[in-house]
A and B are shown apart, each in its own frame.
Chain A
Amino acid sequence: MPTDRQKDDNMLILNCPYCGVDAEETELAAGGEAHLKRFGPGSSDDEFHDYLFMRENPKGVHFERWRHANGCGKWFHAARCTQTLEVFGTYSAQVTEPPKEIKDAITAKRPDWTWREFS
């Protein structure tokens, strides 16, 4: 993990869980908020509205989707702090919630963190 380099500079560096590269932000494409649950046909207007428009905008712990666009091309998830650019970890795109080791890594640094239904 690029933790040492992360302290030394202010560039966002994420470790791509698919190709293992410590990719800096110019190799990456931001994909917005992670773990959105899709509400499509059959859902209520309120649910659809929230799915389309309501996004978290935290100062602190945040979960995002990123794509290693100038690299292996894979989408992945990242848990990071929007205030300090600290990266808690990156993980597979094929999950619907952060894995335990990511949650534990966040709790170690931010004991009181919550984000949507996760904590």
Chain B
Amino acid sequence: MSEPISALNHASYDGIAKIAECGLQGMITLRGDLSDKVLAKAVKDATGQKVPGQREASFTGDTGVAWMSTDELLVLVPYAEVEAKLAAMTNALSGTHALAVNVSDARAVFSISGASAREVLGKLAPVELSAEAFQPGQIRRSRLAQVAGAFWMDDDQTFRVVCFRSAADYVFKLLKVAAQPGSEVGVY
């Protein structure tokens, strides 16, 4: 069995914020009726969290769940547990109109941390990132320059960014440029 390696294998960069590729992250896309009780229980069993409301995300470390759209959730579990969690989820949802798929190896995850983290991400996404508008507990799907990306905050100075694995190198380079020393804008 070959050893799984994340897209950029923990590459990192220190600028006005610290950029780091987070390594392997178990990730399950779950689609279905979000008001369904069976689905809610499957999410609870996998993550310990309840089904999030519109644009909400709740995480503890690398486990949690985020609202992706009216019929889609992103379930995060530790990479080593993803197959078992997915099997349990698929089993629980067997009589329900729902679909759970392991997308762990299709994605890359980055963290942006530091006092200027909002500023770094604000340069790349058309999103209001002031402390009044965006807080831990929220998720936003948007674009990072030219590729799709989603992000949420672990705490007031730390973002986690998810993008397609095929775009990982592009996103890392974007984040590095946005975090260049001396490039503070001072908006947030």
Chain A 78-97 near chain B by CB (<8 Å), digits 1 or 0? 00000000000000000000
Number of residues on chain A facing chain B (CB within 8 A): 13
* Secondary structure dominating the interface of A: loop
Number of residues on chain B facing chain A (CB within 8 A): 12
The answer to the question of A24 belonging to the interface, with a C-beta cut-off of 8 Å to chain B, is yes
Check if B141 sits within 8 Å of A72, measured CB to CB.
yes
Contact A72-B68, Cβ < 8 Å, known A20-B54, A20-B55: yes
The answer to the question of B9 belonging to the interface, with a C-beta cut-off of 8 Å to chain A, is no
Distance from A1 Cβ to chain B, minimum over Cβ atoms (Å): 15
Bound-complex Cα distance A114 to B143 (A) = 36
* Secondary structure dominating the interface of B: strand
Check if B54 sits within 8 Å of A19, measured CB to CB.
yes
Q: Which A residues, 12 to 44, have Cβ-Cβ distances below 8 Å to chain B?
A: 18-21, 23-24, 26-27
Distance from A92 Cβ to chain B, minimum over Cβ atoms (Å): 11
Distance from B87 Cβ to chain A, minimum over Cβ atoms (Å): 27
Residue ranges of A at the interface with B (Cβ–Cβ < 8 Å): 18-21, 23-24, 26-27, 70-74
Given A26-B143, A71-B142, A73-B141, 4 further pairs, Cβ under 8 A: A20-B55, A27-B143, A70-B142, A72-B70
